[in-house]
Amino acid sequence: MKRKHLQTVIFGPQGSGKGTQGALLAERFDVPLIGAGDLFRAEIVQKSTLGNLVNQYVTQGLLAPDELVNAVMARQLKKVNVTKGFVLDGYPRNVEQAMHLDRILKVNLVIQLKIEDKEVLRRLGGRLQCMKCKNVYHEIDAPPSRKGVCTLCGNKLERRADDTEEIIKQRLKAYHYITAPLAGYYRQKGVLLAVNGDQAIPYVFEDIVKKIAKLGFLP
């Protein structure tokens, strides 16, 4: 089988570990990890017309419309060297954006991290953060050595304001409604790979690497 370049989109709900898996994959295959959030910040920092528009949405805590998101991505993606491949995280977020991405970049693999809602609630709901050194813990999965206290700096641990059950459930609902349909879109194109994200990080990664090797993606 011919060895293929990794031209990958990774998506999944918050708490699925897609950021971590994306980073591991990019490192293993020595390709750039493209975070949509970083590209947005880059556009805002440049204070371009687009950047200023995006900033207006961001500062009001609003979701930027597809046209604007697509325009920023088109501009910023041109600046990334993707000749050896890439891992893209955080874009596209819906089918409309996926159709736009198809016009600017060839994607040959889309990894969907699947995870039960109740596991997302468990993961995010049990998350604790040190507000001083920003280290993150989990009540059960990664507890601090002393309950409620940061192991690194001794500061008090807190739950993040947006880690409430209600907010997590709202975000999951939005994910299922807006982003999850990407699976159908990419399955039809024959590039979808669904992976069980309901396991520990190293197992998920091993699973991904094994499955994509069979498809001709080798580091």
Per CB under 5 A, residues contacting Zn ion are 130, 132-133, 135, 150, 152-153, 155
Given 84, 134, 146, 160, which residue is catalytic?
A: 160
User: Apex CA 105: angle with CA 104 and CA 109, to 5°?
Assistant: 145
Residues with Cβ within 8 Å of residue 38, at least 6 apart in sequence:
none
Which of 4, 41, 122, 171 is catalytic? The answer is: 171
- Shortest Cβ 132–Zn ion spacing (Å): 5
Cβ closest to Zn ion, residue 53 vs residue 152: 152
User: Has 171 been annotated as catalytic?
Assistant: yes
CB of 163 to Zn ion, least distance (A): 17
77: CB partners within 8 A, 6+ apart: 34, 39, 104, 105
Comparing CB distances to Zn ion, the nearer of 55 and 135 is: 135
Shortest distance, CB of residue 129 to Zn ion, whole angstroms?
9
As measured in angstroms, the least distance from the Cβ of 149 to Zn ion is: 9
Q: Which is nearer to Zn ion, 156 or 189 (CB)?
A: 156
Distance CA 175, CA 112 (A): 12
4 is catalytic: no
- Is 127 a known active-site residue? yes
Residue 18 is a catalytic residue: yes
DSSP helix/strand/coil, 86: strand
Considering only the C-alpha atoms of the chain, give the largest distance between any 2 of them, rounded to a whole number of Å.
54
Long-range contact list for 78-85, CB < 8 A, 24+ apart? 80/32, 80/34, 81/32, 82/7, 82/31, 82/32, 84/5, 84/30, 84/31, 85/5, 85/6, 85/7, 85/8, 85/29, 85/31
Residue 55 or 151 with smaller CB distance to Zn ion: 151
Q: Which residues are identified as catalytic?
A: 18, 93, 127, 160, 171
